[in-house]
Amino acid sequence: MTASSRVGMPLRYKVVVAYDGAPFAGWQSQLHRNTIQDRMEAAIKQITSEEVRVHGAGRTDTGVHAIGQCAHFDLQTAKFKPPTLLPALNAVLPPTIRLLRCQAAASSFHARFSARGKVYRYRIWNAPVLPPLELGRAWHIFNSLDLETLRAALIKFKGRHDFAAFSASPGKKQQDTVRTLDAVRLARRGPCLTIEFSGDGFLYKMVRMMAGAAVLCGLGKMSLTDVTQRLEQGGRRDVRLVAPAAGLFLIRVRY
């Protein structure tokens, strides 16, 4: 028996969420209520009649997608079992948000603070024409990219670095900007390039800025030395490219 299933204690649920980020203003709750968090909380209230706060592992931005976001919430009553709660919530959520898994979790589990790392994927469509079904799913770059230079730039991000130069301000000062990327992978299938970043944590817009810098290198508009200097010297620079949100996917949260 978990701590959260004792008599008088709320039951904690852990869910894995997939969503198309295009129609929403990101994950985090806002006054207009058109966020993933807001829609999930409204669905839970509709099914359970309880006001809850849904805690996500990461706050994805407007237009960013997920196929493996993790979240948790507490219910005061234990009558809603995960096997029945999952389809009930999916029945009232927008079709662009789906719970893939739902299970009971220990009261000590926290979707954000228990996470040991995340995996993000960035997609680039490198061809003269973007197929309509790729709209909103990839960054369209019609100029030819030097893949070897692109790969060399991405490799520089692997390891432990101060990523201050590859982050934006979320409205408050980030105290610790050092992160560790244990893997950075580039794959190509036809015109589609996929970059996967796996690390212990990511700063605000960090993945999109790393992708942007690598693409600038691949286009011959930034040098590999510049990437190295930014990592070594830290500090935010004025000239930075933030890759479009549409190409970014939260793939998995590691626990």
**Residue-averaged pLDDT of the chain:** 93
**What is the tens place of the pLDDT at every residue in 6-44?**
556 789 999 999 999 999 999 999 988 899 999 999 999
Known active-site residue 61: yes
Contact 73, 54 (CB under 8 A): yes
Positive/negative CA dihedral, 228, 57, 110, 254: negative
Provide the 10 A C-beta neighbour count for residue 145: 18
Between CA 110 and CA 14 the distance in angstroms is 9
Closest CA to 10 of 50, 69, 62, 67: 50
Provide the 10 A C-beta neighbour count for residue 229: 12
Question: Tokens representing 218?
Answer: 């691949």
Closest CA to 98 of 73, 65, 123: 65
Among the options 61, 74, 162, 182, which is catalytic? 61
**What is the tens place of the pLDDT at every residue in 195-229?**
999 999 999 999 999 999 999 999 999 999 999 99
| The model scores a pTM over 0.85 | yes
